[in-house]
């Protein structure tokens, strides 16, 4: 059973679904509890609140809170917190803005995150994960293009024998029956059409790769305060482990690796 001491409690903090202090019943809100100042005073009077399970909060809209502890929070919108986030996992489709520090746990977003600080000398591992939605969609487009090109190349190989045979026959091709010459002509046309289609797809693929590079070069993680060793930064499928304390860093992907600015 987890314990929260009274001096760790703040108004607006998300705690647990079954929190209680000496018989004081804290009302449940969306599967979790948001502490009011009144209940904080009651908890302070009795000294300690006990927590059996972490909060599970899921929302389709934006979430705004003061702080969170021992929680699992998911939203299809943005998430904003003014204070610290402790022992909590956050998954947001939109932007994450946290004014305080992240201490242990994970923050994941499909957009970008701005944090007041990350980790401490004593705290454990923190995961900061950004999976840009735009680049994921473009990666799916690349996969479709690769599949289409693979099919066209296989088809083109089937016509390569006709091209090789025509070259071998040279002027003797005129001696072939008309229907055979017509078959060869159709084969040559299709061969050239395939080459043009492949070239167009390869050009589109190059443009998409350039757009992905541009999207990933945007600063996706910004830490306005200190960031401590034990923090793992992940953007798209790249990762970076922080090994020394730093301050005021932002992270993006350039040249296939995560860089700091």
Q: What is the CATH number of the domain that holds 166?
A: 1.10.287
Confidence of residue 32 (pLDDT cuts 50, 70, 90): low
Is 59 a member of any domain?
Answer: no
What is the C-alpha to C-alpha distance for residues 79 and 62, in angstroms, rounded to an integer?
Answer: 6
pLDDT confidence of residue 177: 85
209 and 141 both lie in a single domain: yes
Say whether pLDDT at 170 is over 70. Answer: yes
At residue 24, does pLDDT exceed 80?
A: no
Q: What is the 3-state secondary structure (H, E, C) of 173-219?
A: HHHCCHHHHHHHHHHHHHHHHHHHHHHHHHHHHHHHHHHHHHHHCCC
Q: What is the pLDDT of residue 65?
A: 85
104 and 227: one domain? Answer: yes
Confidence (pLDDT) at 205: 95
> Who has greater pLDDT, 130 or 172?
130
Residues 193, 142, single domain; the answer is yes
- Report helix, strand or coil for 135: helix
Residue 175 sits in the same domain as residue 239? no
Q: What is the CATH number of the domain that holds 120?
A: 2.160.20
**245 and 186, same structural domain?**
no
Residue 253, pLDDT above cutoff 50: yes
Residues 126 and 228 in one domain: yes
Q: How does residue 121 score in pLDDT terms, banded at 50, 70 and 90?
A: confident
Q: What integer pLDDT is reported at residue 18 of this predicted model?
A: 47
- State residue 175's pLDDT score: 81
Write out the two tokens for 246. 């730093």
Sign of the dihedral defined by the CA atoms of residues 9, 10, 11, 15, in that order: negative
Whether the CB-CB separation of 67 and 84 falls below 8 Å is answered with: yes
On whether both 211 and 252 belong to a single domain, the answer is no
Query: Are residue 140 and residue 210 in the same domain, yes or no?
Result: yes
Which tokens in the block code for residue 136? Answer: 């994921």
What integer pLDDT is reported at residue 36 of this predicted model?
A: 67
Boundary of a domain, candidates 30, 53, 76: 53
Are the C-beta atoms of 113 and 134 separated by less than 8 Å?
no
Neighbours of 187 (CB within 10 A): 18
| 239 falls within a domain | yes
Residue 58 inside a domain? The answer is: no
73 in Cβ contact with 91 (< 8 Å)? yes
13 is in which domain, residue-wise? 1-53
Measure the CA–CA gap between 139 and 205, rounded to whole angstroms: 10
Whether 244 is in a domain gets the answer: yes
In the predicted model, what is the mean pLDDT of the chain? 84
pLDDT above 90: residue 248: yes
Least confident of 53-62, 115-124, 126-135, 252-261: 53-62
Looking at the domain assignment, is residue 45 inside a domain? yes
Q: Are 227 and 126 found together in one domain?
A: yes
Whether residue 44 lies inside any domain: the answer is yes
User: Structurally, how many domains does the chain consist of?
Assistant: 3
What is the per-residue pLDDT for 22?
46
What average pLDDT does this structure show over 42-47?
61
For residue 201, the model assigns a pLDDT of 95
- Residue 28 confidence class, pLDDT cut points 50, 70, 90: very low
Structure confidence at residue 66 (pLDDT): 84
Task: Examine residue 232 and state whether it is found in any structural domain, yes or no.
Answer: yes
In a domain, 153, yes or no: yes
Is residue 107 domain-shared with residue 232, that is, in the same domain?
yes
* Number of neighbours of residue 23 by Cβ within 10 angstroms: 6
User: Which pLDDT belongs to residue 30?
Assistant: 42
Residues 181 and 238 in one domain: no
If you average pLDDT over residues 237-258, what whole number do you get? Answer: 94
Percent of the chain whose predicted confidence (pLDDT) is above 70: 80
Q: Are residues 227 and 128 in the same domain?
A: yes
């Amino acid at each position: 059973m987890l314990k929260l001491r009274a001096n760790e409690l703040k108004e607006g903090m998300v705690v647990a679904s079954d929190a209680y202090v000496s018989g004081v019943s804290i009302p449940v809100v969306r599967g979790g509890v948001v502490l009011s100042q009144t209940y904080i005073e009651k908890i302070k009077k009795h000294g300690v609140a006990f927590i059996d399970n972490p909060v599970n909060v899921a929302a389709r809209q934006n979430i705004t809170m003061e702080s969170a502890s021992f929680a699992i929070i998911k939203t299809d919108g943005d998430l904003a917190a003014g204070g610290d986030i402790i022992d909590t996992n956050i998954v947001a489709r939109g932007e994450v803005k946290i004014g305080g520090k992240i201490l242990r746990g994970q923050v994941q977003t499909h957009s970008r995150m701005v944090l007041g600080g990350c980790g401490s000398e004593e705290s454990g591992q923190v995961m900061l994960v950004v999976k840009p939605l735009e680049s994921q969609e473009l990666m799916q487009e690349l996969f479709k293009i690769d599949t289409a090109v693979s099919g066209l190349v296989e088809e083109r190989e089937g016509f390569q024998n006709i091209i090789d045979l025509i070259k071998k026959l040279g002027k003797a091709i005129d001696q072939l029956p008309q229907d055979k010459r017509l078959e060869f002509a159709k084969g040559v046309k299709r061969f050239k059409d395939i080459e043009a289609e492949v070239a167009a797809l390869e050009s589109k693929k190059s443009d998409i790769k350039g757009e992905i590079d541009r999207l990933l070069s945007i600063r996706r993680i910004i830490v306005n305060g200190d960031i401590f060793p034990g923090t793992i930064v992940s953007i798209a499928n790249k990762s970076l482990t922080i090994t020394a304390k730093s301050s005021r860093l932002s992270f993006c992907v350039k040249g296939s690796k995560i860089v700091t600015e």
